[in-house]
Amino acid sequence: MEYLNKEVILKSYPQGIPQDQDFQILDTKVSDALNPGEVLIKNLFMSVDPYMRGRMTGRRSYVDPFPLGEALTGGAVGRVIASQRADLPVGSLVNHFSGWRNYFVAANDRSDLKKLPEISGLTPEIWLGTLGMPGMTAYVGLLKIANLKSNQRVFVSGAAGAVGMLVGQIAKIKGCYVVGSCGSDEKASYLKDELGFDQVINYKKAPIRDQLAKVAGEGFDVYFDNIGGDHLEAALDFMKDFGHIAACGAISQYNATKSVAGPANLMQIVAKRLTVSGFIVSDHSELHDEFVRDMSGWLREGLIKDRTTMFYGIDQAVSAFRGLFLGENTGKALVNLEN
């Protein structure tokens, strides 16, 4: 039997915010006539993440650029619908890196393909968000990289994003005072009223530094930076001595078409004896089991709330991705590919 498949091809490296014409949806067919060791997977959900923008350039970053003319890749959750592998029978829920398509055949040497446990009360797509890469990024960045302690004061930028939302909630679990920044009043209310952030600022309303000055109090022990640019500059001015900055990303820069100057106050790093640590979650896989244990426990206890902005159908994948840079999504942005 053959399945009608669609996959998203990268046609050109975007200049600035990615546009529809940088992508193309290709119709293909995928057969269930498998060789030994192969499985046929139907994707249920695919992830769009800001780091993917960094791969849509001709320059090598910490991962290779996406090749032009080929289907994009990224985190996804699917179900095995035909199998020549005893360990992955039909019906298995799997996590893998072949997003941006409906169906695909995976050979038996696929190291990214992992069978997921089916835990009652947990949706399959949670493995792309709270129990997936964004959740682990928040967990590792806050607890390992920034070495957060109970009762510290934390500032997180991009606080309504997939990672930021979890950073704030983990910090609250640890008894910290949490200030977040986001780009709309609606998001700000959600973070404060639903997730228990202590203070939230809408950076679109007034200069971030002025707003941060009003809520910083004695300053921050930890800044979790998803944004870079003016957020980083403001945060530097309100760090406490010996504070720690976990540098997770700089979404404010990802679509820059020309060089954007950095903060003018980096001397604060010396004066305040700050440590700024860049990190990438995939370097810390030794913490994965501990992360899943803690995070699934927090979810069960209701200490962590999950939130998703869901798009439907692979035709919406590019819109979902663009939305990351337009501030349109709250929480984890996913594309539902079930139908």
Residues binding a copy of itself (CB under 8 A)? 54, 61-62, 228, 232, 241, 247-250, 253, 259-280, 283
User: Considering beta carbons, is residue 29 or 258 the nearer one to a copy of itself?
Assistant: 258
CB of 75 to a copy of itself, least distance (A): 19
197-212 b/e (C-beta count within 10 Å ≥ 16 → b): bbbbbbbeeeebbebb
CB of 243 to a copy of itself, least distance (A): 10
* Sign of the alpha-carbon torsion through 7, 12, 13, 18: negative
- Cβ neighbours of residue 192 closer than 8 Å, sequence gap 6 or more: 198, 199, 200
What residues are paired with 39 via a beta bridge? 83, 106
- Cβ neighbours of residue 284 closer than 8 Å, sequence gap 6 or more: 136, 140, 144
CB of 155 to a copy of itself, least distance (A): 17
User: Considering beta carbons, is residue 268 or 309 the nearer one to a copy of itself?
Assistant: 268
Distance CA 318, CA 252 (A): 19
Distance CA 238, CA 216 (A): 6
- By the 8 A CB rule, do 155 and 217 touch? no
User: Considering beta carbons, is residue 12 or 268 the nearer one to a copy of itself?
Assistant: 268
Within 73-191, residue ranges assigned H as helices are 133-139, 162-173, 185-189
Tokens linked to 292: 């899943």
CB of 130 to a copy of itself, least distance (A): 22
User: Considering beta carbons, is residue 283 or 338 the nearer one to a copy of itself?
Assistant: 283
User: Considering beta carbons, is residue 82 or 248 the nearer one to a copy of itself?
Assistant: 248
CB of 337 to a copy of itself, least distance (A): 30
CB of 254 to a copy of itself, least distance (A): 8
CB of 308 to a copy of itself, least distance (A): 25
User: Considering beta carbons, is residue 115 or 240 the nearer one to a copy of itself?
Assistant: 240
- Reduced to 3 states, what is the DSSP secondary structure of residue 297? helix
- Cβ neighbours of residue 9 closer than 8 Å, sequence gap 6 or more: 23, 24, 25, 26, 69, 70, 71, 72
User: Considering beta carbons, is residue 108 or 253 the nearer one to a copy of itself?
Assistant: 253
Tracing tokens 């019906």 back to the chain, one arrives at 91
User: Considering beta carbons, is residue 191 or 250 the nearer one to a copy of itself?
Assistant: 250
Q: Which candidate, 226, 269, 34, 208, places its Cα nearest to that of 134?
A: 226
Tokens linked to 171: 């910090």
Tracing tokens 């640590």 back to the chain, one arrives at 277
- Reduced to 3 states, what is the DSSP secondary structure of residue 199? strand
